[in-house]
Amino acid sequence: MSFNRVEEESFSTTFDIGSLPKHYEFNEFISDEDVESDRDDLPRLVLMGLRGSGKTSIQKVVFQKMSPNETLFIGSNNSMLKDVVNNSAFVNFQICDFPGHFDFTDSEYDVQSILQGCQSLVFVIDAQDAIASALNRLHSVVTKAYKINKNIKFEVFIHKVDGLTEDTKMETQREIHQRANDDLVDSGDEQKIYISFHLTSIYDHSIFEAFSRVVQKMIPHYATLENFLNIIIQTSGIEKAFLYDVKTKIYVATDSSPVDIQSYELCCDMIDVVIDLSNIYGMGQNPGLTNDPAFDDQSSSLIKLNNGTILYLREVCSFLALVCILREDNFEKQRIIDYNFVILRKGIHKLFELKDKEKESIESRNPPSFK
């Protein structure tokens, strides 16, 4: 008899959600220089924020499938946590989780080199506590990071908004936005630095949504992917298409129509249930291989809802799935949709190859030799 939750094992490594946390380096501070240099080619995402703002919780919930209620037991960490997310060809990066008390002058962390390879800096603000000092901190972090690396994209997560009412949420966001910009104006950086703001909470899908947007900015081929999806929704009569990373439920791309949080949640729920059921029924074929995902490229799923909508899921390649929302009437042309999907899949695979080639060409830095 297996229980998902055991009191003595609140940090147990078994998660009932089907996807598996890949790198299980729980609270492990990687000081090994070799390992680090191995991963240096990956894009880097840095998490910063005041102590207790919820940085580590975010990381655990989004990337290690910890249940939000268990994050209460996470203590504050005093060293930098590094983790590599390497799910699919599009979602692979390194996360650096800085401790809250960290200081730029601190020699313990190699801030210079970390920020040099950093693509995205996520600053977490606790919406319910110490906003003023968080804003001061944000300003100093942003200006210093900008001096080191001018290409960093700054993202602010206004976190723990689950405790606020709908009105105060908006107000808080407006206020934080205003004051952060005022600070930048005061120091004369407003033309150069652009910060985006997201309202997040680990208790609903907003944190996944926000992370999706952050990750999308890190994908070099995002525009191409978006274009692919635009074409498929036009030709197949689909209302909305998401390209999901099924492990983290981050969507790496969507078509250019605006994202409605409800449909995003619906698709997340669908992925959850499909993966759970595939795990129940798919494991029988490969007993012993617990790492072997039951969800493979033959997988597809269809849910007909009673409001005349259809959710259609197809696997693109390992851990990447296309989820479409469409009207029931348009699903009569299922064969066309399937055909279009096959073409889309080919396109995405080509994109992968392109990406790999780019990588190779960067790695082999030898100039081409002419005769």
Partner 1 sequence: METLNGAAVEYTSDGEISEQMSGTVTHSLRKLGKRKVNILIMGRGSSGKTSMRSIIFDNYEPIDTRRLCATNEIETTHFPFLGHMLFNIKDCGGQDTFFNDYLSHKRRHLFHNIDVFVYLFEAKNGDEEFAKDLKQFQSLLSAICKGSPLVNVFCLIHKMDLVKPDQREKLFKDRENELINISKPAKISCYMTSIWDESLYGVWSSIVYRLMSNVHKLENTLKLFAEEMECDEVILFERATLLVVAKYVRVPPSDEKRPQRVSKTIKNFKAKLDRNKISHDLFEIKLSSNRIDFVQHQKLKSTFFKIITRQLSTTKNKWLTQSDVWMRKSATILEIS
223 lines the binding site for partner 1 (CB under 8 A): no
Asked if 278 is part of the footprint of partner 1 (rule: CB under 8 A), the reply reads: yes
Minimum distance, C-beta of residue 305 to partner 1, in the bound complex (Å): 5
Is 290 among the residues that bind partner 1 (CB under 8 A)?
Answer: no
Burial of 15 from C-beta contacts in 10 A (0-12 / 13-18 / 19+): middle
Distance linking the first and last C-alpha atoms of the chain: 70
CB of 202 to partner 1, least distance (A): 14
User: What's the min distance (Å) between Cβ of 318 and partner 1?
Assistant: 13
Minimum Å gap between C-beta 259 and partner 1 is 16
Contact between 274 and partner 1 per CB under 8 A: yes
Name which of residues 168 to 207 contact partner 1 (CB under 8 A).
Answer: none
Of 59, 201, 49, 209, whose CA–CA distance to 124 is shortest?
Answer: 49
Under the criterion CB under 8 A, does residue 32 sit at the interface with partner 1? no
Q: Is residue 162 involved in binding partner 1 (CB under 8 A)?
A: no
Phi and psi torsions of 121, nearest 5°? -120, 115
Nearer to partner 1 by Cβ, of 66 and 134: the residue is 66
Residues touching partner 1: how many (CB under 8 A)?
Answer: 40
Residues of span 43-72 touching partner 1 by CB under 8 A? 69
Residue 283: phi and psi, rounded to 5, are: -65, -25
Residue from the set 84, 303, 317, 351 that interacts with partner 1 by CB under 8 A: 303
HSE (side-chain half, CA atoms, 13 Å) at 72: 4
Strand positions, DSSP E, 76-205: 81-86, 92-97, 118-126, 153-159, 195-199
Q: Is 284 in the site for partner 1 (CB under 8 A)?
A: yes
The least distance separating partner 1 from the CB of residue 115, rounded to whole angstroms, comes to 39
Q: Which two tokens stand for residue 164?
A: 């606020």
Q: Give the gyration radius of the chain's Cα atoms.
A: 22
Long-range contacts of 71-80 (CB under 8 A, 24+ apart): 71/202, 73/10, 73/11, 76/51, 76/52, 76/100, 77/27, 79/29, 80/29, 80/109
According to the binding rule CB under 8 A, does residue 359 interact with partner 1? no
User: Does 37 participate in binding partner 1 (rule CB under 8 A)?
Assistant: no
Q: Is 281 near partner 1 (CB under 8 A)?
A: yes
Stretch that binds partner 1, among 78-86, 188-196, 294-302, 317-325 (CB under 8 A): 294-302
Q: Can you tell me which of 37, 262, 366, 369 binds partner 1, judged by CB under 8 A?
A: 262
Q: Tell me which residue has tokens 């939750």.
A: 5
- CA pair distance 59, 88, nearest whole angstrom: 18
CA-nearest of 58, 151, 144, 152 to 103 is 144
Least Å from the CB of residue 313 to partner 1: 9
Contact at 8 Å (CB) between 251 and 212? yes
Residue 267 as a binder of partner 1 (CB under 8 A): the answer is: no
Q: For partner 1, which residue of 15, 282, 318, 355 counts as binding (CB under 8 A)?
A: 282
Q: Out of 170, 223, 302, 354, point to the residue binding partner 1 (CB under 8 A).
A: 302
Stretch that binds partner 1, among 206-214, 243-251, 300-308, 361-369 (CB under 8 A): 300-308
Q: Which two tokens stand for residue 37?
A: 């240099």
x/- letters, 304..343, toward partner 1 (CB under 8 A): xxxx-x----------------------------------
With CB under 8 A as the contact rule, the residue among 176, 266, 321, 326 that binds partner 1 is 266
The torsion angles phi and psi of 82, rounded to 5 degrees, stand at: -120, 145
For residue 331, the tally of other CB atoms under 10 A from its CB is 18
Rounded to an integer, what distance in angstroms lies between the CA atom of residue 164 and that of residue 175? 14
Q: Interface residues with partner 1 (CB under 8 A)?
A: 1-8, 69, 262, 265-266, 269-270, 272-274, 276-278, 280-282, 284-285, 287, 294-296, 298-307, 309
